[in-house]
Amino acid sequence: MVDSRARAELDVVTANVPALIAYTDNRGRYLHANETYRTWMGIDPAEMIGRTVGEVIVERLGELYWRRVRPSFERALSGQAARFEAEGQYADRYRHVEVYYTPDMDPDGQVRGVVCLVVDITDRKLAGFELRHRTMLLDQAMEPVFTWVFGGTITYWNRAAEELYGYTTAEAVGRVSHELLRTRHPMPVGEFESELSARRYWRGELRHTTKDGREVVVDSIHRLVRYDGQELVLEANRDITGTRQTEAELRDARDRLQRAIGDGRIGVWEADLTTGALTASENVNELYGLPPGSLRSWQDLRTSIFPEDVAAMEAEWSKAIARGVPLACDFRVGDGQGGQRWLHVQARLSRSPDGRPARLSGATFDITEQKLAEEQLREMAATLEARVVERTGELAEANRELESFAYSVSHDLRAPLRSIEGFGEMLLRDYAGRTIDDRGQDYLRRMSRAAVRMGRLIDDLLTLSRISRTEVHSESVDLSGIARVEMGALFAASPQRQADVTIQPGLMARGDPGLLRLALENLLSNAWKYSGKSAHARIEFGATDTAEGRVYFVRDNGVGFDMRHAGSLFQPFHRLHPVGQFEGTGVGLATVHRIVRRHGGRIWAESGEGKGATFYFTLGAADETQDDPAGRG
Amino acid sequence: MKRKTILLVEDNEDDELMTVRSLRDGGFDGEIAVVRDGQEAVDWIRGDRQADVILLDIRLPKLSGFQVLEAVRAYKPTRHIPVVMLTASTEQEDMVRSYDLRANSYIRKPVDYKEFERVVKSLGVYWTEYNQWPRMNTNSHE
């Protein structure tokens, strides 16, 4: 039982507690209720006395609330303490509450009454809700956010963190963040931690390693907060790996450009045509041979140009501005040290939106070295040309001399020979048998023969020299026909001789008709000459087609020669037989050799002493071998 | 019958001697006038004497055989006279040029005297006989 005095004391004690405090009897009727009921429930606590808990709650908080509360209260009436949370619309506001029903037992263990305590937990509840809500938002955040206990392990890990680092929340929570991410700080870790704890904030660039071993660069913000009695680090990171890469590439490109421009050979500028202002890289001044900062207006770009180059330059400028033609021209400037420098300017016009010329953007190059090289090349070419002209002149002079020499040889050298021979002959004719005996006559005949021989030598030499001097024509030549004519002539000159002659019909060659006739005549007359002592002389002219092309041959069964001397066969004046044995000057094969060579072909021989000889020759690429199948000619 | 005249233009005395002898051996009994250079030759033909045939060397002092030939062909009273080039030159070009300038024949002097003799003999006979044929042959060239 509670007497009135005790009740008054209880009132005082409980009045200012921000909770509902009440006491009921063992049938659930209020015996006491504190002042807080007035504010929370809008009821005078005094009026509650004697009414049941159920009545008051239904009246003030509604049927639903009572249904939620009633089982716990009835359990308390039966002697079991109850603690639960509930929520509802109280008189002043909506409340989350924690309710304690504690049975009051008498010494016999009988329930005497129930103590009711209702504590407002709305703020705590809402704070929890807010946290959940924020967590949801953080999970939606695009950027990795996670929390970790300062000096301890990760407590929260959002979805973006999962995506960036590859670790799931389950894998990350409970791990030490800098171990998990192999964090590389821009400063010693101790320094980093003391700065964070002192300023409770840190921002900087960190390098993390992801689960698959990739290194990422993040712009990181750390905030140190106190939460639930712990120092918690809120870490929010922004992945800037790509940005850093782009920046590095950009830096690289800038460096390279700088290096290219850096040697002072390329200057870039932009001229504003309305204001005349010139924006230029510093080296443009240098290129123009001017002190730094000299070029201010675009008119200045023309100041130090050599006077003789100004007109051409002006023409290009006006053309570029008037017609929008890309400007490109070369000109000279002083180099500021008394010398000159060649510059090349290239520029392009941009127009204002209304179509008027607005800006000229250009680049200026130092092309001095290039110009010098060009000039040297021109000089060299000119020198070379002069030298060629000189040499050609010398050659022509030498040729003229050779020709006049040949002329002198043919004309003047032969005249005395003719005299020797002629007067020898006359001596023989007029005085033989009278004043000159047989021996003297023999001497005279030898003299005559020698003179005639020398005359032939001179003729042959002239022929040889003429082969080198004359131009080789390219015509279709009937070699079979030439061979037939020549053999006919040889038979006619020595009617007493017998020989089997085989000439392959229809052999057409491409070359100089006169020279080829001369070559063939020489080879055939050689064959004729050296087979002269054979009982059954055989002479053959023909051709075989080989991989090298067509090979012509002249074959005889005459005396032949020792192959050991084949090397000197085609040298002028070189004979393999004594003069007395076979006639000839030793120039014939040299002549053939030269003719064949001038046609781009080659000549060689096969022989053996007493085994006859075969001379082979080709006529080079020009010989198309278009034979006459009819064998006409 | 009128006595024939051969004008021999030859600077080489040996050649002159051999030529004259060959002509005589060939039976030529007319007059053989000899001049030693080109200028003399031109002067001779422009003079009052007339040659029936001219034997002309090419390499000559003062005026060349070609120049003499041109002068002969350019001068109306002499343009019909047969001219035989008798030269030591074996150059093809000299022969071509001679015919271009309207020489009647071109003979290379052989070193072999017998050949030389044969050529000159026939030459003397032919050209002197030619001039006995009716004049219409030469008129037709004018």
Chain B residue with CA closest to A425: the answer is B113
Classify burial at A477, counting beta carbons within 10 Å of its beta carbon; exposed 0-12, middle 13-18, buried 19 or more.
buried
| Closest Cβ–Cβ partner in A407, A416, A421 for B112 | A421
B75 Cβ contact partners less than 8 Å away, ≥ 6 residues apart: B45, B46
**pTM more than 0.80:** no
- A418 reaches B (C-beta below 8 A): yes
Gyration radius from chain A CA atoms: 63
Taking an 8 Å cut-off on Cβ atoms, the answer to whether B18 and A419 are in contact is: yes
- Tell me how crowded residue A526 is: count the other CB atoms within 10 A of its CB: 21
Gyration radius from chain B CA atoms: 14
Taking an 8 Å cut-off on Cβ atoms, the answer to whether A421 and B59 are in contact is: no
Q: What letter does residue A297 receive in the DSSP assignment?
A: B
Chain B residue with CA closest to A429: the answer is B114
End-to-end CA distance of chain A: 164
Contact residues, chain A, for B90 at CB < 8 Å: 410, 459, 462
| Closest Cβ–Cβ partner in A407, A415, A425 for B113 | A425
Q: Residue A358: what pLDDT?
A: 85
Classify burial at A134, counting beta carbons within 10 Å of its beta carbon; exposed 0-12, middle 13-18, buried 19 or more.
exposed
Residues of B in CB contact (< 8 Å) with A are 12, 14-15, 18, 21, 58-59, 87-91, 109-114, 116
A514 Cβ contact partners less than 8 Å away, ≥ 6 residues apart: none
Q: Which of residues 441-480 of A touch B (CB under 8 A)?
A: 448, 451-452, 454-456, 459, 462
Question: Is the residue at B140 inside a domain?
Answer: no
Taking an 8 Å cut-off on Cβ atoms, the answer to whether B112 and A424 are in contact is: no
Question: Is the residue at B134 inside a domain?
Answer: no
Taking an 8 Å cut-off on Cβ atoms, the answer to whether A455 and B110 are in contact is: yes
The DSSP bridge partners found for residue A111 are: A105
Question: Is the residue at B132 inside a domain?
Answer: no
| B140 token code pair | 């037709």
Place of tokens 């390693």: A209
pLDDT tens profile B39-69? 999 999 999 888 989 999 988 888 889 999 9
Question: Is the residue at B137 inside a domain?
Answer: no
Cβ(A233)–Cβ(A222) below 8 Å:
yes
Taking an 8 Å cut-off on Cβ atoms, the answer to whether A411 and B21 are in contact is: no
Question: Is the residue at B135 inside a domain?
Answer: no
> In degrees rounded to 5, what are phi and psi of residue A231?
-85, 115
Contact residues, chain B, for A448 at CB < 8 Å: 113
Contact residues, chain A, for B87 at CB < 8 Å: 411
Q: How far away is chain A from the Cα of B5, in angstroms, using its nearest Cα?
A: 24
pLDDT top residue among A98 and B142: A98
Chain B residue with CA closest to A424: the answer is B113
Contact residues, chain A, for B110 at CB < 8 Å: 418, 455
| Closest Cβ–Cβ partner in A412, A423, A425 for B114 | A425
Q: Which of A410, A417, A426 to mutate to test the interface with B (most CBs of B within 10 A)?
A: A410
Q: Which of A417, A421, A427, A460 to mutate to test the interface with B (most CBs of B within 10 A)?
A: A421
Give the SS3 label for residue A580: coil
- Reference A146, options A136, A159, A128; nearest CA is A159
Provide the residue range defining the domain that includes B42: 5-126
Contact residues, chain A, for B113 at CB < 8 Å: 418, 421-422, 424-426, 448
Chain B residue with CA closest to A407: the answer is B89
Cβ(A103)–Cβ(A77) below 8 Å:
yes
Contact residues, chain A, for B109 at CB < 8 Å: 414-415, 418
Q: Residue B65: what pLDDT?
A: 93
Give the SS3 label for residue A73: helix
Q: Which of A399, A400, A405, A407 to mutate to test the interface with B (most CBs of B within 10 A)?
A: A407
Question: Is the residue at B53 inside a domain?
Answer: yes
Q: Residue B141: what pLDDT?
A: 43
For β-strands B83-87 and B105-108, DSSP reports them as: parallel
CA atoms in the 13 A half-sphere facing the CB of A422: 23
pLDDT top residue among A18 and B125: A18
The total domain count for chain B is 1
Question: Is the residue at B104 inside a domain?
Answer: yes
| Closest Cβ–Cβ partner in A407, A422, A424 for B116 | A422
| Chain A with chain B: Cβ pairs closer than 8 A | 62
Which CATH number covers residue B74?
3.40.50.2300
Contact residues, chain A, for B21 at CB < 8 Å: 426
- A402 reaches B (C-beta below 8 A): no
Taking an 8 Å cut-off on Cβ atoms, the answer to whether B90 and A462 are in contact is: yes
Taking an 8 Å cut-off on Cβ atoms, the answer to whether B109 and A459 are in contact is: no
Question: Is the residue at B114 inside a domain?
Answer: yes
Contact residues, chain A, for B15 at CB < 8 Å: 415, 418-419
| Closest Cβ–Cβ partner in B58, B88, B91 for A414 | B88
Taking an 8 Å cut-off on Cβ atoms, the answer to whether A422 and B113 are in contact is: yes
Contact residues, chain B, for A427 at CB < 8 Å: none
Per-10-residue mean pLDDT of chain A, 633 residues long, equals 65 78 92 90 91 93 90 92 89 88 89 90 77 75 86 87 91 90 87 88 91 92 83 89 82 69 71 83 79 78 78 84 84 81 86 84 84 86 85 81 73 82 88 84 86 83 77 88 92 88 92 91 92 88 88 92 80 69 77 89 88 90 60 45
pLDDT top residue among A580 and B77: B77
* Spatial distance between the Cα atoms of A152 and A470, rounded to a whole number of angstroms: 106
